[in-house]
Amino acid sequence: MSAALDNIRVVLVGTLYAGNVGSAARAMANMGIRHLRLAASNLQSDWSEAEKMAVHAGDVLETREEFATFEEAVADCVAVVGTTARQGLYRQHVKAPRDVAKEILSLAETGKVSLVFGREDKGLLNEEVAQCTHLIRIPVDKGYTSINLAQAVLVTCYEFFVNAGEYEMPREKAPPAAQAQKMQLMKNWAEMLIGIGFMTEEQTDHFMQGFHRVFSRGVFTKDDAALLLGVARQTLWAVKHGGAVAKEVSK
């Protein structure tokens, strides 16, 4: 885990449902953020729901910190990033998580940073918003702006995780094929197609243009798929007939 991610604290304020706490812990663990703080919790359900929803992120729950107030939960943080879906005079300078992730991660290299999520029913209060150094809003369709608490945690933490450079996408191990190898493939492919009776020597130029296209860009069109399906059908025919060449070219 990078030092910046290790300095991030996810703060859940006034959370109502234990299941959301557990789901948020799981989302955090997915994104390499493992420090959870609960502020002024108002849980209306049994804690066993949190343990159930956390799945394999039980350690995030077990090491959580609990605070009586919002102020106490963010007191040691160099940046307080509040999340809000509501409109209002003091909520107009919001940015998307992606747009502030790098800036906040830079601050997290110098000290603790809190990502603050409000109550399920009414979010953060105005007085809590006023104490935030940054405000973010997850872009959603205007037709329905309400996001589940754990989903909001996941989306936000994802942006920080990606910008922290912690994950490297798998890469193809083999190097790209050289042109000479590709041309040898096309030569052998043509010989094979003639051998199974898919095409005659006179038809080689016509059909191989299609295969050049498929091998260079992939199977994108109905014609591409039909071409390869024709090869498969003719190959099966040749196998069933003991490798004998078909008398008729595939249609």
Residue-range definition of the domain harbouring residue 219: 179-240
* 170 falls within a domain: no
- How much is the pTM? 0.78
Q: Which two tokens stand for residue 34?
A: 């493992």
Does 9 or 170 have the greater pLDDT score? 9
Q: What is each CA distance from 176 to 172, 179, 182, 209, in whole angstroms?
A: 9, 9, 10, 21
Q: What is the pLDDT of residue 244?
A: 55
Give the lowest-confidence range in 8-12, 163-167, 227-231, 246-250.
Answer: 246-250
Number of domains in the chain: 2
* 173 falls within a domain: no
Pair (113, 188) in one structural domain? no
Q: Rounded mean pLDDT of 132-153?
A: 93
118 pLDDT tier (thresholds 50, 70, 90): very high
Pair (143, 189) in one structural domain? no
Pair (47, 78) in one structural domain? yes
Q: What is the pLDDT of residue 250?
A: 44
The set of residues, in sequence order, having a beta carbon less than 8 Å from that of 63 and lying 6+ positions away, is 34, 35, 36
Boundary residue ending a domain (131, 163, 195):
163
242 pLDDT tier (thresholds 50, 70, 90): confident
Q: What is the pLDDT of residue 168?
A: 82
Pair (195, 146) in one structural domain? no
* 29 falls within a domain: yes
* 172 falls within a domain: no
* 184 falls within a domain: yes
Q: What is the CATH number of the domain that holds 128?
A: 3.40.1280.10
- Given a cut of 90, whether residue 160 has pLDDT beyond it is yes
Q: What is the pLDDT of residue 80?
A: 97
* 215 falls within a domain: yes
First to last CA, the chain: 58
Pair (117, 222) in one structural domain? no
87 pLDDT tier (thresholds 50, 70, 90): low
